[in-house]
Homo-oligomer: A and B are copies of this chain.
Amino acid sequence: MSTSRGRPESKLKVLKAPSCFECQSRHRTEWASLTGDDLEVLDRAKTCNVYEPGQVVFYEGNACLGIHCVEAGSVKLRKSGPKGDDVVVGLAGPGDTLGYLAYFGDRGYTTTAEAMTPGRICFVDRAAVKALIHKSPAVGLAFLRRLSDDVNRSEEERVKALSLPLRARAAHLLLVLKDRSAVADEHGRLTIELPFTRRDMAAMLGTRPESLSRLIRVFETDGIAHFGAREVVVPDLDTLLDELEAAASPAG
């Protein structure tokens, strides 16, 4: 990693070593209920891959050959919008599965998945997934639960996108990111990671980078949040929450 960069060789290293039995992330996946023989099936079927930042796990539109399973690292899910632009529609981390939407919908991947950090992502092919679901109803139910949560989240976001002004949408995004990666210091100041460029954030908020830039300045002067290149510091969570309340009831 240090002296000679060299060519990327085959950047995608295929490892057989890690085992589902020892995987610390598995308990957060839809395979959590598997034990004994069933887990053995999963372990034998999986292929484990190492990814570097920027590497693509799968491309939107491509055929889905199975389900991916994030053991370590974080992943960005992009979707190409009605214009040429890409919009980030989700983030995934250890314990998240990827590609199940394409798998169950029997169509190509609906998003492009790109590694943001170094990590390890396993792959389970269609046949094994099918076998496991037929053997273990709990797996199917776990995916039903997961998809249900996804619909729910997506609909809520959609309604917010339609009815909240930019300022409130931005506050909401910070709150979502907070749940993902907030570190509080002794005064209650939160430091939140911003795993995107401003351009990406603007697209997520449905605005232009220029408008986002101006909004950031407003947030700074109002003392709501202080923006670094790849992080935000929120001095007081309540002040941020007030931004959402204000949008909900302008009279209050």
Chain A contact residues, CB within 8 Å of chain B = 79, 81-83, 85, 87, 89, 100-101, 104-107, 110, 133-134, 137, 140-141, 143-145, 147-152, 154-155, 157-164, 168, 203-206, 244, 247-249
Contact = CB atoms under 8 A, between A and B. Distances in A.
Q: What are the 3 tightest A-B residue pairs by CB atom distance, in nearest-first order?
A: A162-B206, A105-B148, A147-B147
Most chain B CB atoms below 10 A, which of A148, A164, A206: A148
A101 B140 contact: no
Contact of A161 (B105, B148, B161): B161
Contacts of A101: 148, 151-152
Contacts of A133: 137, 140-141
11 contacts: A81-B159, A82-B244, A89-B159, A105-B145, A110-B152, A133-B137, A134-B137, A157-B158, A162-B204, A163-B203, A163-B206
Contacts of A158: 89, 154, 157-158, 161
